[in-house]
Amino acid sequence: KVPLMRDEECVEFPADQSTITIRFATEGIQFMEQSVQEGKPFFLYLANSMPHTPLYASPQFAGKSKRGLYGDVIEEIDFNTGRVLDRIKELGIEDNTIVVFTSDNGPWLIKGEDGGSALPLFEGKMTCFEGGQRVPAIIKWPGKIPAGSVCEEIALSMDLFPTFAHITGAQIPRDMEPDGKVIIDLLTAKEGATTPHEYFFYGTSAVRSGDWKYHAQEH
């Protein structure tokens, strides 16, 4: 029994969670359309509630995947991500729009079939092993990011803020020191580009540096 909010207004209670994936995408598309109509640049942060548990899929996708309910949810997210990408192209802004598709953490393994999988990585969410920390990241920027390029260097979601500021020329307040680094060379697959991070700490349990990793916890 959770509310569905628009700014500070409750538009539905309890929210019909089987509809929110498509409704979030539709709201995002409308926001993009309005921004383009008004001639304004925009930043759209589309954070799907799924596949966080409890899982819900709309009638259009429920029972359609061989992977069960989790698969239904993933296919619905995939479909609605396609709606957003299609609309970006239709609006004529594809070449001037950066799209990032990623996640915040690994799968919630204690949820079993409803929790996803990080294989072949070990473990999942709420751990400092690779399966809990490493997530897929797909970034699209036609004409700037070479199609099919793959980056094997360490980059963090917190790198997006200073990188986007660098790309757009936005001024970061002088009293703010971002935790992330500018990774424009990694994004554009510049030859010889390496991560700007000397170390990456997994909380206080592990640390990576180059090809090395130290982990205080046995498995």
pLDDT, one tens digit per residue, over 35-67 is 999 999 999 999 999 999 999 999 999 999 999
CA distance linking residue 204 with residue 19, whole number of Å: 39
pLDDT of 217 reads 75
Under 8 Å between Cβ of 126 and 166 = no
Tokens of 130: 């690779």
| pTM for this predicted structure | 0.92
Q: What is the pLDDT of residue 189?
A: 95
Which amino acid appears at position 4 of this protein?
A: L
98-114 pLDDT tens trace: 999 999 999 999 999 99
Contacts of 33 (CB under 8 A, 6+ apart): 87, 91
Kindly give the pairing relationship between strand 99-102 and strand 137-140: antiparallel
Measured CA to CA, the distance from residue 8 to residue 26 in angstroms comes to 19
Buried b (16+ CB within 10 A) or exposed e, 198-214: eeeebeeebbbeeeeee
* pLDDT level of residue 219 (50, 70, 90 thresholds): low
Per-residue pLDDT of 92-149, as tens digits, reads 999 999 999 999 999 999 999 999 999 999 999 999 999 999 999 999 999 999 999 9
Q: What pLDDT digit, counting tens, does each position of 163-178 carry?
A: 999 999 999 998 989 9
Given this model, what pLDDT does residue 203 score?
A: 85
Residue with tokens 């409308």: 30
Q: What is the Cα–Cα distance from 127 to 80, expressed in whole angstroms?
A: 30
Q: Could you tell me which of 80, 105, 92 has the C-alpha nearest to residue 29?
A: 80
- Residue 69 CA, chain-centre distance (Å), reads 21
Instruction: Tell me if 128 sits within 8 A of 206, measured CB to CB.
Output: yes
